[in-house]
Amino acid sequence: MSSIEDRALIKTNFKFPGQTNFYRGKVRDVYTISDQLVMVASDRISSFDHVLPRPIPYKGQVLNQIAAHFLSATAEEVPNWVIAHPDPNVTVGHACTPYQVEMVIRGYCTGHAWRTYRDGHRVLCGVKLPEGMRENDAFPMPIITPATKAEEGHDEDISREEIIAQGIIPEAEYAQLEAYTRKLFEIGTRMAAKRGLILVDTKYEFGKKDGKIYLIDEIHTPDSSRYFYQDGYAERQAAGERQQQLSKEFVREWLMDNGFQGKEGQQMPEMPDTFVETVSERYIELYEILTGKKFEKADTENIQTRIEKHILAYLA
């Protein structure tokens, strides 16, 4: 059997006709060709703001196809950037000018919201939080807690008032982003419920092209969203137990168990083959639970060649 690295897409360095720009993110390689973006989802995995040294086979395909599933399901309500999916790992869409703010929406007092609350704060991004909440309790209604997009390191919390006062986004456009964010979260919540899941929190990114606002990047994937299992949620809350999550949290937990939280001086642990294969299987399971579809593994024998061929055929 070929090695994990041979079967995975670690990075691409294509040169396409008409290509004007290339950007490598933590997970995606992005090519600008004319007024379109060609986004290739690699099998890289990041945690604690670090890209891990080993790739996860099929992870890129899983993320790309989960995002495609939800982008297609929400397109009539919220315009998005997608034009085509020429390959299981690739999305082609409109090149938009991104807003420098991520729209984070939270239905539950979990993660960053809970840590803020636990530390005694009752305002998050300008939003007042009710008294008497416990970890993983539902907010009376979902709250929007925007974050500025950092080129490196952690994103920073910011309030609606600060965004408008600092001229980061004009008020009318920001109101539209809020309306789109609530609509997407509402659809995502309904779709999750049909799969026996609770959409806990997520983030959306938006951009603008020719005066029109588009949803860009990915949505409702395990990399951008947190889900709880609906079954047993109320019982676990009542008993003060941890909630069962459907996310990549298990990777973070493995890293922490092996002494790594992304802090200075910490050594990144090497993931053994058995764990990498387990993570791959978990991602495939995530796809099937979230979409209700059977995962069809794409051919990974010559993954670079396959992707390049499909993109060139699309461009032609």
Average pLDDT value for residue range 169-191: 98
Average pLDDT value for residue range 154-159: 87
Q: Does the pLDDT of residue 304 top 70, yes or no?
A: yes
Average pLDDT value for residue range 52-73: 96
What average pLDDT is seen over the chain? 95
Rounded to two decimals, what is the model's pTM?
A: 0.92
Q: Which residues contact 64 (CB under 8 A, 6 or more apart)?
A: 41, 85, 88, 89, 90, 91
Average pLDDT value for residue range 85-100: 97
Structural element, H or E, at residue 19: strand 19-24
SS3 content of the chain, % helix, strand, coil (to 5): 35, 25, 40
* pLDDT at 272 (0 to 100): 95
Per-residue pLDDT tens for 217-248?
999 998 899 999 999 999 999 999 999 988 77
* pLDDT at 152 (0 to 100): 60
pLDDT-derived band at 153, boundaries 50, 70, 90: low
* pLDDT at 150 (0 to 100): 67
Give the separation between CA 79 and CA 93, rounded to whole angstroms. 12
Other Cβ atoms closer than 10 A to 215: 26
Q: Are 11 and 29 in contact (CB under 8 A)?
A: yes
* Least confident window among 112-121, 143-152, 306-315: 143-152
Q: Are 184 and 204 in contact (CB under 8 A)?
A: yes
Q: Are 48 and 26 in contact (CB under 8 A)?
A: no
% of the chain residues with pLDDT over 70: 98
Domains along the sequence of the chain with CATH:
98-246 (3.30.470.20)
* pLDDT at 247 (0 to 100): 79
Q: Does the pLDDT of residue 151 top 70, yes or no?
A: no
Q: Does the pLDDT of residue 50 top 70, yes or no?
A: yes
